[in-house]
Amino acid sequence: MKYTLSVQVENHFGVLARIAGLFSARGFNISSLSVAETEDPTISVMTIVVEGDEKILDQVKKQLNKLIEVIKVKDVTFLDYVSRELALIKVKIDAQRRREVIEIADVFKGRVVDISHENITIEVTGDSKKLDAVVELLKSYGIVEMARTGRVAIIRG
């Protein structure tokens, strides 16, 4: 199963390496990891999606807590939380296909962020399933390039 952890860390040089190193040294699997500074510039938040069973999750949390630069580990998996991923997808187009791609983007509440004679780039946010669905649909048009973030999460309320 996949668990989502929201981890507050000191915004120090090398913290990401420390956390990634912990996962590789202990044989834990990271499905995705995203990191960004918070409103407090001394703190970053990492959203880590971990794959494993409960025992592994328990160890992951404890081992993360052991790191000096980890301030707080929150397991949001079973909490009421909002999570998002973002994808930027560049699709090959011609005049006729352009309209179809834009329609698909509209259905998924995506936005066109760039357009040229050959390509169109759309931006979609949502959970993994929604993004997978968009990607699947756009595949038939020919995806030139794609960039996708990991999951970010925040507890509701």
| Nearest of 136, 125, 37, 28 to residue 85 by alpha carbon | 125
By CB under 8 A, tell whether 25 contacts other proteins: yes
Show the DSSP H helices in the chain as ranges: 15-26, 54-66, 95-107, 128-139
Minimum separation from the CB atom of position 51 to other proteins (A): 19
Restricted to residues 5-24, the positions that interact with other proteins (CB under 8 A) are 9-10, 13-14, 17-18, 21-22
Minimum separation from the CB atom of position 63 to other proteins (A): 5
Distance CA 80, CA 74 (A): 12
Restricted to residues 60-89, the positions that interact with other proteins (CB under 8 A) are 62-63, 65-71
Minimum separation from the CB atom of position 8 to other proteins (A): 8
As a whole number of Å, the end-to-end CA separation of the chain is: 25
Residue with tokens 């069973």: 53
Positions in the binding site for other proteins (CB under 8 A): 9-10, 13-14, 17-18, 21-22, 25, 55, 58-59, 62-63, 65-71
